[in-house]
Chain A
Amino acid sequence: MNKTYNQKAWFFVIPVFVLVAFNAVVPLMTVVNYSFQETFGSNVFAWEGTRWFKQILHSERFHASLGRQFIFTFIILLIQLPLGIAIALTMPKKGWGVPVCLILMSMPLLIPWNVVGAMWNIFALPDIGFLGNSLNSLGFDYNFTQQSGDAWFTTILMDVWHWTSLVVLLSYAGLNSIQPAYYQAAEIDGASRWDIFRYIELPKMKKVLTLAILLRFMDSFMIYTEPFVLTGGGPGNATNFLSLDLVKMALGQFDLGPAAAMSLIYFLIVLLICWVFYSLMMKNEGRT
């Protein structure tokens, strides 16, 4: 059978193409161009070849911030996923508690990132902040501005406070979409609470959880604003994550070439991990 193709629809896609070209393709092309050159501004450039890539790949500073970034993201996922699922399991399924819980859960997500950073900065200050002061009164030696362990603790706690809700909301949606028949069947079979979770709820939540992992991975891997406001990457370089380090290199030191090379490597890592996640998500979807 001969299909008739109507190519007019392409015209409707043109605005999107133009928009994406201006906000993504053109800047990315520029980054690629910069990553092979040296500049001191005024549009004067000198070719450096692959020097910046070699420099970044051999740079201990880059290895350190990449390592910190992976550890941070790993800890975040390790805490937020189980915690989010646990909270979603305890949330009411009907009645007045539903809207109350949903609104409470959504609230941290609605706060702008820099406000979250500023809030937690003040909250955690060792002398006047509620958290910092309380911990010190209880006898803990807590000072996130001077001790790297405390800085990590505060950054992770802040991220958990800010983003666990996302996992909760996604898991809750997944849980609510399970038909009551499954629970009835489990009850007849005499399944324990753990069995119900392991063999009904968890498999049924697989899709939303994959989405949650992907979103949480992306956000925590590219985290910038909150640690920038909270710790500024300090004390020393303790919480100097990849994006913080990148901005320091690009805008602080004005090393545009190395920063461009670093951002391309960063981009490729994100692209690879997203592709792996996407492929795993789509693996059993039967796209063919």
Chain B
Amino acid sequence: MIFTNLHAATNTWNTVGKAKEKGLFDFDFIKWMAWTWPTASFFIFIAVCITVMYFWEKKDPGGNPRKGILTLNTTRGDRLFVSLLSAAFIHLAWLGLTDFNLWIASFLSSIFAIFVFRYV
């Protein structure tokens, strides 16, 4: 795979540094980027978001501009940006302030994103 450290999520201190089988797409030039599936999924998610926005724009051009509850003029691109940025801060706050499962923060972020797309 292109993600050299595909196994990294299971790569603990017991297995670190041990020889691994080289995958078909295990390119050396990309090794330094230290890809893992969890981080790759994050970027794939962002790419999917942007692709969805592209098709949404095709279907309903103009970006659906409006003045939301923040009294700011926003398009749906702005709303995606606000959702992603708030998701980042919700996750950070969750990590900093609580010891609960991080998935709850992701769930809260999704709820908040729906709120942002609806009202901001």
Q: Contact between B32 and A30 (Cβ–Cβ < 8 Å)?
A: yes
- B11: A residues at CB distance < 8 A: 45-47
- B92: A residues at CB distance < 8 A: 53, 57, 265, 268
Residue of A nearest to B82 (CB): A275
Bound together, the chains give a CA A44 to CA B12 distance in angstroms of 11
What is the minimal beta-carbon distance from A255 to any residue of chain B, in angstroms? 15
Residue of B nearest to A37 (CB): B34
A172-192 CB mask vs B (1 if < 8 Å, else 0) is 000000000000000000000
Q: Which of A30, A275, A287 contacts B65 (CB 8 A)?
A: A287
Q: Which of B31, B39, B73 contacts A287 (CB 8 A)?
A: B73
Q: Which residues of A contact B (CB under 8 A)?
A: 26, 29-30, 32-34, 36-37, 39, 43-47, 50, 53-54, 57-58, 265, 268, 271-272, 275, 279, 282-283, 285-288
The reply on B9 being an interface residue by CB < 8 A is yes
The reply on B33 being an interface residue by CB < 8 A is yes
Bound together, the chains give a CA A272 to CA B63 distance in angstroms of 22
Q: Contact between B34 and A34 (Cβ–Cβ < 8 Å)?
A: yes
With A32-B42, A47-B9 already in contact, 16 other A-B pairs whose C-beta atoms are closer than 8 Å: A29-B33, A29-B39, A30-B34, A33-B36, A36-B38, A36-B39, A43-B4, A45-B36, A47-B11, A47-B36, A53-B92, A268-B88, A268-B89, A282-B73, A288-B67, A288-B73
Bound together, the chains give a CA A265 to CA B43 distance in angstroms of 17
Interface size (B, Cβ < 8 Å)? 36
Q: Contact between B39 and A45 (Cβ–Cβ < 8 Å)?
A: no
What is the minimal beta-carbon distance from A276 to any residue of chain B, in angstroms? 10
Bound together, the chains give a CA A58 to CA B95 distance in angstroms of 9
The reply on B117 being an interface residue by CB < 8 A is no
A-B contact pairs, 26 of them (CB 8 A): A29-B43, A30-B34, A33-B36, A34-B34, A36-B36, A36-B38, A43-B31, A44-B16, A45-B8, A45-B34, A45-B36, A47-B8, A47-B10, A47-B11, A54-B96, A57-B92, A58-B96, A268-B85, A272-B85, A275-B81, A275-B82, A275-B85, A279-B70, A283-B71, A285-B73, A288-B66
Query: Which 4 A/B pairs are nearest by Cβ-Cβ distance?
Result: A57-B96, A288-B65, A33-B34, A46-B16
- A47: B residues at CB distance < 8 A: 8-12, 36
Bound together, the chains give a CA A268 to CA B81 distance in angstroms of 12
- A53: B residues at CB distance < 8 A: 92, 95
Q: Which residues of B contact A (CB under 8 A)?
A: 4-5, 8-13, 16-17, 31-36, 38-39, 42-43, 65-67, 70-73, 81-82, 85, 88-89, 92, 95-96, 102
- A50: B residues at CB distance < 8 A: 95, 102
- B43: A residues at CB distance < 8 A: 29, 32
Bound together, the chains give a CA A263 to CA B12 distance in angstroms of 24
Q: Which of A36, A44, A54 contacts B17 (CB 8 A)?
A: A44
What is the minimal beta-carbon distance from A159 to any residue of chain B, in angstroms? 28
Q: Contact between A272 and B32 (Cβ–Cβ < 8 Å)?
A: no
Residue of B nearest to A42 (CB): B17
Bound together, the chains give a CA A146 to CA B47 distance in angstroms of 51
Q: Contact between B39 and A32 (Cβ–Cβ < 8 Å)?
A: yes
Q: Contact between B95 and A43 (Cβ–Cβ < 8 Å)?
A: no
- B42: A residues at CB distance < 8 A: 32
